[in-house]
Amino acid sequence: MSLAQLAVKVECSNNASPQTDERSWPRSSTTSVSPQPPSTAAQSIAPLTQGGGQTSSDDVDVAHQWVSRIKRKYKSCITGEAVVAARAARFAPMPDLDPRLQAALRARGITQLYSHQAEAWAALRDGADIVVATPTASGKTLCFNGPVLDAALKSGAKAMYLFPTKALAQDQVAELLELNRAEDLGVRAYTFDGDTPSDARQAVRTKGDVVVTNPDMLHQAILPHHTKWAQFFSALRFIVIDEVHTYRGVFGSHVANVLRRLHRVCAFYGVRPQIICCSATIGNPREHATELVGRPMRAILNSGAPSGEQHLLFWNPPPINPDLGIRASARSQVSKLARLAVKAGLKSILFAQSRLMVEVLTKYLKDIFDRDPRKPARVRAYRGGYLPDERRLTEKLMRAGAIDAIVSTSALELGVDIGALDVSLLCGYPGSVAATRQRLGRAGRRQQTAVGVLVAGSDALDQFVVRNPQYFLEQSPEHARIDKEQLLILLDHIRCASFELPFSENDTFGERDVREFLDYLVDEGVLHRNGSRWHWIDDSYPANAVSLRSVADGNFVVVDRTGGKQTILAEVDFSSAALTLYEGAIYMIQSIPWQVEKLDWTGRKAYVTRTHVDYYTDAIDYTRLKPLSQFESAKSRCGEAQLGEVHVVRRVAGYKKIRYYSHENIGYGPVNLPDQELQTTALWWRVEPGALDEAFPMRFEALDGFLGASYALHTVATLLSMCEPRDLGKAVGSGDSEWSATVSGKGRGELRNAAGEPVDLQAMAEFSPAVYLYDNYPGGIGQSRPLYERRQELLSGALNLVRNCRCSAGCPACVGPILQSDEQRQPKASALKVLGLLVA
Amino acid sequence: MHGIADQPNPSSATLAHRLGLLRGRDVRPASPDSDIAQRIARLKLLATEARPSTPRGDGRLPGETIAPGLVLIERKLGALQALKLRLDLPETLLPDWHEHNPVPRERLLFFDTETSGLNGGAGLKVFMLGVLRWRDGWTLKQYILSDPDGEGALVEAWLAEVSDQPVLVSYNGKRFDIPALATLERLHGESSGAAEFAHWDLLYPVRRRFRKVWPNCRLQTAERLLLNKHRVDDMPGSEAPRAWRDFLRFGHTHALLEIARHNRSDLESLIALLRQIGTHGPWTLP
Ligand SMILES: [Zn+2]
C-alpha cells in the first residue's frame, strides 16, 4: 500500500481514482515507516529488475540530510513539495513451479514473491489476461518471466515479448539468459529486430522459446510472413506487451490494430495466447490495456515491493528579468543541483529533453568531476545514438555503483536496469505527469530516502506546472487514449490483414465488421472477391507502406544538404508539414536549429542546412473551421461549448522570427503554400455577440483576448491529453468559417476572409468569434472528446495559467509572446476576460 | 467488354466518400460536399492502374477445370520439336554435384511458378505452376488459378506432383519458388517437404561460372549466351502480376496465356540448360 504524506506548501486532497490510488503521489494519510521486511533468507529478495547498486551508509540517511539542506538554502526557488512515505514489502509464498526454475530463482536470491507478482501468477493460472501497473523497479518482469519460463519448461510453450525500444528488448533477453544460465534451463530467448542478421532469423523462428521484438517488426516482418513462423505461432501461449503506456495516440492506435492482426494470425494457427501487459503509472491502465489488446483485462495495481521515502521538489529558476518573464536556465539549476548531490556522495540521474542538452550537461559536470583523465569517469552520458556496447557498459557501471552522475534523455525513462539511485533531476518538464513520475521514480531505494527535483524551463507548459504544483499533484496521471477505429489507420491495417489471410464473409477484425472496407479495397483493385471470400491479388507488400507513427501517407522527409551530400534527418507528418517546414522556417531537431531552404511540396521533401541564427520561427496561419456536425453541446456563462466534426482549411501566410530569450519579434517572412484541408473532430467555444460587446468596448481587445485564450487553452490541453503540442491544433475564427484570425507579423490580431483578404474588424455587422481546439490528424485521433468532457478543468487550468503568470501584459508562458513596443495592449487581461466568459 | 470495377461498388461508396473527405487535404476546391463524385473518381484514378493496351482475349482459358478455381493445361512435346529445342537429355544423369546414384530422366521434375508479385510474404499468390517431366516424352502441365479460391486445389496438385520425391530442377527455385510454395502449403495446413528434396537450382552453377563475365545471370541471358536461344514476342515475367489481375478483374485472357507461353519457354530452357551444363560442366552446384 502506498502511504503518502504531503508536506509543507501544498495541500492535497485524496482525489485519486480507485484504480490508481496505489501510485498517486499525495495521500493525506500517514503511517510509520515499516521496518525490515520479514524475510528470513540471508540474501535480499531483490526483484530481478533491481541490480545491486551501492547503498550509502545504513545509519545516516544522506539523501534526507541533503534534501533538508537544499530546501533551507534555496527556499525561493522551490514552488512546491510532496513527500511519499516509505512502504514496506509484502510477500507471498512461491507457488508450485518447475523445480529447475525454482532452483534458478533461488540462485538469484528469490525465494518468495512480492504480493503483486503472486497475484499476477495466480491470475494467469486462472487463464486471465492481465495488466500489471506497479511502480518502476517493483519487479514487474518477474510477473511474466516466471509463468513464461515455467510453461516453457513444463510444456514447451512459447512466448512473444513486445517492447517499444531495442534497448529494452536486449535488456530483457540478457535477463532471461542470466536466469537461464543459473540453472541451465535450456530455454532459448532471442531478440528479433532490424539488427538480427538474416542468417540468424531462421533459428529465431524455429528455435526460439521466447522471441523479443517490437511492434514495428511485428507489423512489417513477422505478421506478413507468418507462415515462416508457423511452428512458433502454433506453440505460442503468452504475449507480453511491456510499457503499454507508450502505446497511445497515433502510435497506440496503430499498435492496437497490429494486435488485431496478431490475434487473427494466432486464431489461424489454432492458439489463443494469454496476454500480459505492463504499464507505468497512467490513470487508466486497465481500460487502456483492454482497448489496446481488444480483450477484457484483469488489472494488478497494488505493489508489494518496498520503497524508501521519496521527496519531490518543484523548482523554478530565479528570475533575471521579471517583466519579460526571463529566468535563469533550467540547465544552470540542474548542473548546480547535480554538483551538490555528487559532492554529498549521492548517485544522481539527470534527465534532459534533447541529446544536445545531454552533451552540454555532461560536459559541464565532467569539467568538475572528471578532470583527471587517469581516474575512471564519474560522470557519463546515455542516450539514443550511442552504440549499444557503449550503452551496455554504462548500464553495467551504473549497476556496480561506479558512476556518480548519469545524464540521459528519455532513453532511460523506461525500464532499463541501472541499479539504485538517490537523486533524479529533471531539466524541464517531460510533457506529461506520467513521464514525470516515471523519471522521478528512477531515484528510489528500498530503505533510503530518494529525491526528485523537477526544474522548469521557460516555455509555457513548464511554467504552468511549476507555478501550479498542486495542479500537477492533484491530478491523477493522464489517461492514455487510442482510437483504433480511426478510419485511415483502420483501413491501413485491414489492407495488411487481407494480405496476411483472406477475409471470409463472417470474419470480423477485432469486433469490427469490415465488409464495407473489403469492398472498398476490391474497388481499389487490391482485393478480389469470390462469393464469400476476399483475396489479396495486388503485387505490393502493404505493410511497407504503413508507418506506425503517422496517420496519412505522404510524410515529408527533412533532408540535410550541407556540404553537397544529402542526408535524411527526420520525417514529418503531413498534417504538421505546412506549419513547420515552410521555406525560411527554423526546424529544430534535438535542439539543433536547421533552416529550411527549399520545400518540394509535391515531392514531400524539405531541404535544410545547419544554421546558427538567434531566433526561432512561428508560422502565421489562418485556419478556418467549419462545423459539419455537432455531437455535443453545453451552455456556458455567455455562450456555449461544442464538440463536433469540422472541416479545417489552413493557410500558412507567413512566419514570424522571434528572438530567443527576449521573445522579441524581429522580422517577418512570406510563405506561399497550397491550402491544407483536413476533416477532423474539434471542440470549440462561442460567446454571444451581445455579451462580448458588453465585456469589450473595443473589438480588437476581444480579439486579443480570444487569441490569448486559445494559446493558454492549447497549452493546458496538451498537458491534459498527454500529447505533443503539434497533435492538437488551435484556431480563432467565426463559427461559420467566414473569417479566421491570427497574431500577425506585427504582433497584432488580424482577420482574413476565405479569399485571404484582410477583414475590417470594426466594419463587421456582427462579431462572433469562436475558439477551437482540434485533432491535428485527418479523421481525428480521439483527443477532442475527452477534452470536451474535461472542459471545466481545461478552462480553470487556462485561467490559472494566465492569472498566476508574473509577466505584466503577456508572455510566452501564458498568452503568447507580445512585442516589447506594444505594451499598451493588454492581451493578458483580455484573455482572462474571455476565459471568464467561457466558463460554465 | 466492361469490367466489374468500372462501377464503384455501391456498399463501399459511403466509405469511399468518407475517405475521400479525409484525404482531400491539399485539394484546392474547398467545399466538402460539392464534388464527392469527383473525389471518388480521383481516388479511383490513383488506385487503379491504366488499362492494358494488349488484346483482351475471349475470356476463356483452354485446358480442363480440374477443381473449382483451378485449370490444368497439359500437353506432350513432340519428339521432333524436342530435338529442335535441344531437349534430348540422356536416360540417366550423373552430374558432378549429385553424389548419389545415377538419376533416371523420369525422376527429374522441372518446375517454375508465376506469382502475383515478387515481395514474398503470406499475400503472395502463386497463380501458375508449370511442371515438366519425362513420361515417354516431355509432358508439360501448367496449373493456373482461375480464381484465388482454387489455391487449396493447387496445393493438392503440387503435393501429388512431388509425392514420388523427385529431383527438382529450377532456376532460382531455392530462394523463390520453393519458399513461395511452402507459404501456400502452410496456409493450407500441408507440407510437401520439397524444401528438403534434392534440388538442382541451375542459377548457382551459372552464376558461379559467368558472374564476372555476363552483365547478369538471368535465365534469358543464359539462354542467349549459352543456348543461342532468342525469344520472339515473349511477354516478360514482370508482366505476370498484372496479367493475372486483369484476368481476375476484367476477364482478359490474352496476357495470361502469353505468360503461360513464357512459363513454358522457361521450363524448356531449363532442360536445355541442364543438358548444356552436363555436357560442358562440371560447374558444381553449391
Ligand atoms: Zn505571462
pLDDT tens digit string along A474-507?
766 777 888 898 888 899 999 999 999 999 999 9
Of A225, A488, A501, the CB nearest to B22: A488
- A829 or A613, higher pLDDT: A829
Neighbours of B67 (CB within 10 A): 16
Among A416-430, A525-539, A553-567, B92-106, name the most confident range.
A525-539
Contact status of B5 with chain A (Cβ, < 8 Å):
yes
pLDDT band at A553 (very low <50, low <70, confident <90, very high): low
Inform me whether the pLDDT recorded for B243 exceeds 50. Answer: yes
Number of separate helices (H) and strands (E) present in chain B: 9, 9
Tell me if chain A has a CB within 8 Å of the CB of B16.
yes
CA A540 – CA A517 distance, rounded (Å):
18
- Rounded Cα–Cα distance for residues A13 and A29 (Å): 10
Is residue B28 within 8 angstroms of chain A, CB to CB?
yes
In this prediction, residue B221 has a pLDDT band, given cuts at 50, 70 and 90, of confident
For chain A positions 582-611, those within 8 Å of chain B (CB to CB) are 601
Give the list of residues 6+ apart from residue A351 with CB closer than 8 angstroms, or none: A408, A409, A410, A412, A413, A424, A425, A426, A427, A430, A439, A442
- Cross-strand bridge partners of residue A382: A408
B15:A541 CB<8 A: no
CB atoms within 10 A of CB A223: 25
Instruction: Name the residue facing A500 among B23, B123, B182 (closest C-beta).
Output: B123
Expressed in angstroms and rounded, the spacing between residue A4 Cα and the centre of ligand 1 is: 33
| Residue corresponding to grid cell 521486511 | A37
CA A12 – CA A474 distance, rounded (Å): 6
> How close is the Cα of A821 to the center of ligand 1, in Å?
16
Nearest to A322 by CA among A807, A820, A823: A807
β-bridge pairing B126-134 and B92-93: unpaired
Q: Is the pLDDT of residue A31 over 70?
A: no
**Can you tell me the mean pLDDT for A212-224?**
96
As a whole number of angstroms, the distance between CA A135 and CA A157 comes to 29
Nearest to A768 by CA among A748, A795, A739, A730: A739
B189 and A CB contact within 8 Å? no
B 204-263 → A contacts, CB under 8 A: 241-242, 244-245, 248-249
Is A91-300 the same fold as A56-86+309-474? yes
Fold of A91-300: Rossmann fold (3.40.50)
pLDDT value for B43: 34
Do the Cβ atoms of B235 and B261 come closer than 8 Å? yes
A815 CA distance to ligand 1 middle (Å): 6
More reliable by pLDDT, A745 or A182: A182
Cα separation of the two ends of chain B: 50
C-alpha cell, B245: 489481375
- Whether residues B24 and A677 touch (CB distance < 8 A) is answered with yes
pLDDT at residue B206 greater than cutoff 90 = no
Give the model's pLDDT for residue A49. 33
Q: How large is the average pLDDT for residues A219-239? A: 96
CA torsion sign for A393, A397, A400, A406 is negative
In the structure, what pLDDT confidence band is assigned to residue A589 with cuts at 50, 70 and 90? low
* Distance of alpha carbon A348 from alpha carbon A69, whole angstroms: 17
Average pLDDT over residues B232-248: 88
User: pLDDT by residue (tens digit) across A42-83?
Assistant: 233 333 333 333 344 455 788 899 999 999 999 999 999 988
Task: Compute how many other C-beta atoms are within 10 angstroms of the C-beta atom of residue A633.
Answer: 15
The residue type found at A50 is Q
Q: What is the reported pLDDT for A47?
A: 36
Report, as an integer, the average pLDDT of B121-137: 94
Q: Which residues from chain B sit within 8 angstroms of residue A531, using beta carbons?
A: 149
Closest CA to A509 of A678, A257, A790: A257
- For range A142-155, the mean pLDDT: 94
Going by pLDDT thresholds of 50, 70 and 90, the confidence category of residue A384 is: low
Please tell me the predicted confidence (pLDDT) of residue A518. Answer: 94
- Note the pLDDT of residue A629: 84
The DSSP 8-state label assigned to residue B177 in this structure reads I
| Cα–ligand 1 centroid distance for A386 (angstroms) | 39
* Residue A241 confidence (pLDDT) above 90: yes
Interchain CB contact of A540 with B (< 8 Å): yes
| Facing residue for B117 by CB, picked from A230, A540, A679 | A540
0.90 surpassed by pTM? no
Chain A, window 721-760: residues with a beta carbon less than 8 angstroms from a chain B beta carbon: 754
A528 touches chain B (CB under 8 A): yes
Average pLDDT, chain A: 83
Nearest CA among A534, A180, A107 for reference residue B248: A534
CA of A691 to the centre of ligand 1 (A): 26
- Residue spans per domain, chain A: 56-86+309-474, 91-300, 487-545, 556-613, 620-838
Q: Is A219 helix (H, G, I), strand (E, B) or coil?
A: helix
* pLDDT in the model for residue B190: 94
Say if strands A592-600 and A586-589 run parallel, antiparallel, or are unpaired.
antiparallel
Q: At A353, give phi and psi (nearest 5°).
A: -85, -15
Name the residue type at position A436.
T
Contact A552 B25 (CB under 8 A): yes
Which pLDDT score, from 0 to 100, does residue A51 have?
32
- CATH code that applies to domain B65-277: 3.30.420.10
Per-residue pLDDT tens over the stretch A244-259 = 988 988 889 999 999 9
Whole-number Å distance between alpha carbons of B273 and B286? 17
Chain center to CA of B173: 11
Residue A387 banded pLDDT, cuts 50, 70, 90: low
pLDDT at A639: 85
Q: Is the dihedral of CA A672, A675, A676, A681 positive or negative?
A: positive
How far is the centre of ligand 1, averaged over its atoms, from the C-alpha of A809 (Å)? Answer: 7
Extract the C-alpha cell encoding A85: 512515505
Selected residue with higher pLDDT from A743 and A830 = A830
Q: Give B248's pLDDT tier (boundaries 50, 70, 90).
A: very high
Question: Mean pLDDT over all residues of chain B?
Answer: 80
A and B: number of Cβ contacts within 8 A:
146
**Phi (first) and psi of residue A97, to 5 degrees:** -120, 165
DSSP string, A34-75: P-S----SSS----TT---PPP--SSS-HHHHHHHHHHHHTG
pLDDT band at residue A451 using 50, 70 and 90 as cut-offs: very high
In this prediction, residues A718-741 reach a mean pLDDT of 82
Write out the E strands in B107-246: 108-115, 126-134, 138-145, 167-170, 199-201
**A835 CA → ligand 1 middle, Å:** 15
Residue (of A362, A366, A418) closest to A392 by Cα position: A418
Counting residues of chain A whose pLDDT is more than 70, the rounded percentage is 88
Judge whether residue A198 has pLDDT over 60. yes
Residues B183, A228: C-beta atoms closer than 8 Å: yes
The two counts, helices (H) then strands (E), for chain A are 24, 37
pLDDT higher than 90, residue A121: yes
Nearest C-alpha neighbor of A91 from the set A36, A52, A25, A22? A36
To the nearest whole percent, how much of chain B has pLDDT over 90?
Answer: 44
Q: In Å, how far is A615's CA from the nearest CA of chain B?
A: 30
**Does A298 reach chain B within 8 Å, measured CB to CB?**
no
By Cβ distance, the residue of B15, B69, B241 closest to A520 is B15
Position B11 scores a pLDDT of 53
- CB-nearest to A530 from B8, B22, B148 is B148
Nearest one of A353, A64, A79, B229 to B221, comparing CA atoms:
B229
Q: What is the pLDDT of residue B275?
A: 83
Residues with CB under 5 A from ligand 1 (ion): A 805, 807, 811, 813-814
Question: What is the grid cell recorded at A279?
Answer: 504499464
Tell me what the mean pLDDT of segment A381-390 comes to. 71
Cβ under 8 Å to A: B residues 166-185: 182-183
**Interface membership of A25 toward B (CB under 8 Å):** no
Distance CA A143, CA A141 (A): 5
Q: Is the pLDDT of residue A389 over 90?
A: no
Using the predicted structure, report yes or no on whether residue A581 has a pLDDT greater than 80. yes
Instruction: With beta carbons under 8 A apart, name residues in chain B contacting A491.
Output: 19
B281 and B85 in contact (C-beta within 8 Å)? Answer: no
Q: Among B49, B1, B42, which Cα is nearest to B241's?
A: B49
* A677 in contact with B, Cβ within 8 Å: yes
What pLDDT does A324 receive? 61
Task: Please count the residues of chain A.
Answer: 840
Give whichever of A451-465, A669-683, A791-805, B155-169 has the largest mean pLDDT: B155-169
Q: Flag whether pLDDT at A667 surpasses 80.
A: yes
CB B29 within 8 A of CB A677: no
- Signed CA dihedral, A708, A710, A713, A715: sign only: negative
Q: Tell me, which fold does domain A56-86+309-474 have in CATH?
A: Rossmann fold (3.40.50)
Least CB-CB distance to B248: which of A224, A226, A537? Answer: A537
Q: Is A672 in the B-facing interface, judged by CB distances under 8 Å?
A: no
Mean pLDDT for A126-140 is 88
Give residue A12's pLDDT. Answer: 31
What local confidence, expressed as pLDDT, does residue B12 receive?
57
- Chain A within 8 Å of B37 (Cβ-Cβ)? no
| A615 or B182: which leads in pLDDT | B182
Distance A827 CA to ligand 1 centre (A): 10
Segment B140-167 mean pLDDT:
96
Interface touch B12/A516, C-beta < 8 Å: yes
Q: From the CA of A778, how many Å to the nearest CA of chain B?
A: 5
Q: Is the model's pLDDT at A590 over the cut of 60? A: no
Strands (E), A412-480: 423-427, 450-455
* Higher per-residue pLDDT: B159 or A421: B159
pLDDT of residue A37: 35
Residues of A in contact with B24 (CB under 8 A): 677, 679
Confidence at B29, pLDDT banded by 50, 70, 90: very low
Average pLDDT over residues B129-154: 95
The answer to whether the CB atoms of B11 and A515 lie below 8 A apart is: yes
Interface residue A372 vs chain B (CB under 8 A) = no
- Roughly what angle, to the nearest 10 degrees, separates helices A249-268 and A285-293? 50
| Span A320-364, pLDDT tens digits | 776 666 788 888 999 999 999 999 999 999 998 777 778 888 888
Q: What percent of chain A has pLDDT over 90?
A: 39
CB-based contact, B95 to chain A, within 8 Å: no
Please judge whether A522 and B12 are an interchain contact, meaning their C-beta atoms are less than 8 angstroms apart: yes
pLDDT at res. B100 = 66
In angstroms, the Cα distances linking A601 to A27, A93, A469, A583, B27 are 53, 63, 44, 11, 13
Among B14, B17, B25, B48, which would you mutate to test the A interface (most chain A Cβ atoms within 10 Å of its Cβ)?
B25
Going by pLDDT thresholds of 50, 70 and 90, the confidence category of residue A5 is: very low
Mutate to test the interface with B, among A518, A520, A556 (most CBs of B within 10 A): A520
Q: Is the pLDDT of residue B168 over 70?
A: yes
Q: Does A180 touch chain B (CB under 8 A)?
A: no
Neighbours of A28 (CB within 10 A): 11
Return the DSSP state at A772.
E
Q: Are strands A112-114 and A189-191 parallel, antiparallel or unpaired?
A: unpaired
Cis? peptide before B282, omega within 30° of 0: yes
Query: CA A128 to CA A530: how far, in whole Å?
Result: 38
Phi and psi torsions of A635, nearest 5° = -70, 140
Opening angle at CA A210, ends A206 and A216, nearest 5: 90
Instruction: For residue B30, give every residue at least 6 positions away whose Cβ sits within 8 Å of its Cβ, in sequence order, or none.
Output: A649, A675, A677, A754
Least confident stretch, A130-139, A549-558, B6-15: B6-15
Query: From ligand 1's centre to the CA of A288, what distance in Å?
Result: 36
Interface test with A, best of B7, B17, B21, B185 (most A CBs within 10 A): B21
Q: Which residues of B touch A533 (CB under 8 A)?
A: 148-149
Q: Which one of A499, A524, A528 has the shortest CB-CB distance to B121?
A: A499
Across A436-451, average pLDDT: 80
Residue limits of CATH 3.30.420.10 in chain B: 65-277
